[in-house]
């Protein structure tokens, strides 16, 4: 059990400083069983290209391991379900406190949990985007995983570009790609995320390392505009020294307790 005093303080701040906006990172997805790039044995650990070019660079330089790498990632993604942290954010929204979730995650779990306004800075792995007209198409979850598994079984050597070449074409005739943001690509939904940060009363930082930009700048922007910034993380991060309140713990353990205090007080 987390110390009740910071839990109660967080609940008080949320109640008095609405609207609340949350920024989530890989930590909240890890609680659903999705491994992160920075985990021991993860891509950044095992491949030198990972830290500078992400999964695209790893696959490009190791095509013989491409199918294996993607199958491992997709297995975690396929089995993952929204956890108590995701669901607590939905409760905060239904109670009228939370206005939006800004996420660096590409796993669709905030949407599956029921959050209605989710700004996906790094895209969504379960969505296709046409490289010609830009049209986006969300696939049925099971349809998506069956399709990608069949492609991976056909290809012995695999880069992400090889995978993209096997995806169904857009109705305009253009090629499709999985709609996630690779290293060096522009993030998505950023103007909307900036607007949320500039106008919120309180920002929750949930499970992000605070080192990936431009996402890491969002809490600092919110603070510069007068928002209270509260961080929930198992460990201190690059952002901790800038926050108003730090709660050590997992999102799925801390946020449900905050929600419970808010329910009792309402």
DSSP annotation string for 30-41: HTTTPPPTTSTT
pLDDT tens, residue by residue, 66-85:
777 788 888 888 899 999 99
Enumerate the β-bridge partners of residue 138. Answer: 127
Residue ranges and CATH numbers for the domains of the chain are 4-33+81-122+187-265 (3.40.50.1220), 35-79+124-180 (3.30.1600)
Catalytic residue check, 242: no
257: Cβ–Cβ under 8 A, 6 or more apart, which residues? 1, 2, 7
The kind and range of the H/E element at 154 are helix 141-154
Q: What is the DSSP letter of 102?
A: E
Residue 218 has a pLDDT of 98
Of 86, 91, 110, 122, which one is the catalytic site residue? Answer: 122
Whether 42 and 35 have beta carbons less than 8 Å apart is answered as yes
pLDDT tens, residue by residue, 191-237:
999 999 999 999 999 999 888 899 999 999 999 999 999 999 999 99
Residue 49 has a pLDDT of 52
Q: Is the pLDDT of residue 10 over 70?
A: yes
- Smallest CA-to-CA distance from 190 within 106, 116, 103, 128 is with 103
Q: Is the pLDDT of residue 114 over 80?
A: yes
Model confidence at 168, pLDDT cuts 50, 70, 90, reads: very high
User: Which residue is it, tokens 């993952």?
Assistant: 80
The kind and range of the H/E element at 214 are none
Average pLDDT over residues 97-118: 97
Model confidence at 183, pLDDT cuts 50, 70, 90, reads: confident
Residue 36 has a pLDDT of 61
Percent of the chain with pLDDT over 70: 91
> 10 Å Cβ neighbour count for 150?
10
Residue 35 has a pLDDT of 73
């Amino acid at each position: 059990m987390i110390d009740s005093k910071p839990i109660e303080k967080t609940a008080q701040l949320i109640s008095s400083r609405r609207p609340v906006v949350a920024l989530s990172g890989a930590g909240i997805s890890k609680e659903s069983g999705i491994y992160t790039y920075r985990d021991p044995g993860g891509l950044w650990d095992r491949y030198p290209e990972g830290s500078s070019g992400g999964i695209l660079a790893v696959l490009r330089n190791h095509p013989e391991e491409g199918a294996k790498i993607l199958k491992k990632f997709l297995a975690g993604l396929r089995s993952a379900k929204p956890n108590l942290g995701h669901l607590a954010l939905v409760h905060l929204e239904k109670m009228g406190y939370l206005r939006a979730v800004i996420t660096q995650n590409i796993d669709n779990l905030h949407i599956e949990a029921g959050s209605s306004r989710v700004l996906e800075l790094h895209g969504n792995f379960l969505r296709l985007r046409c490289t010609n007209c830009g049209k986006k198409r969300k696939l049925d979850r099971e349809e998506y995983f069956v399709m990608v598994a069949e492609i991976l079984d056909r290809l012995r050597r695999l880069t992400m570009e090889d995978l993209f070449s096997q995806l169904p074409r857009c109705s305009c005739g253009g090629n499709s790609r999985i709609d996630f943001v690779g290293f060096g690509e522009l993030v998505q939904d950023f103007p909307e995320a900036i607007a949320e940060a500039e106008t919120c009363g309180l920002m929750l930082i949930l499970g992000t390392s605070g080192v990936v930009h431009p996402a890491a700048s969002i809490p600092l922007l919110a603070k510069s505009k007068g928002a209270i910034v509260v961080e929930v993380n198992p460990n201190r991060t690059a952002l901790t020294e800038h926050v108003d309140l730090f709660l050590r713990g997992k999102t799925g353990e801390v946020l449900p307790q905050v929600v419970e205090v808010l329910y009792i007080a309402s």
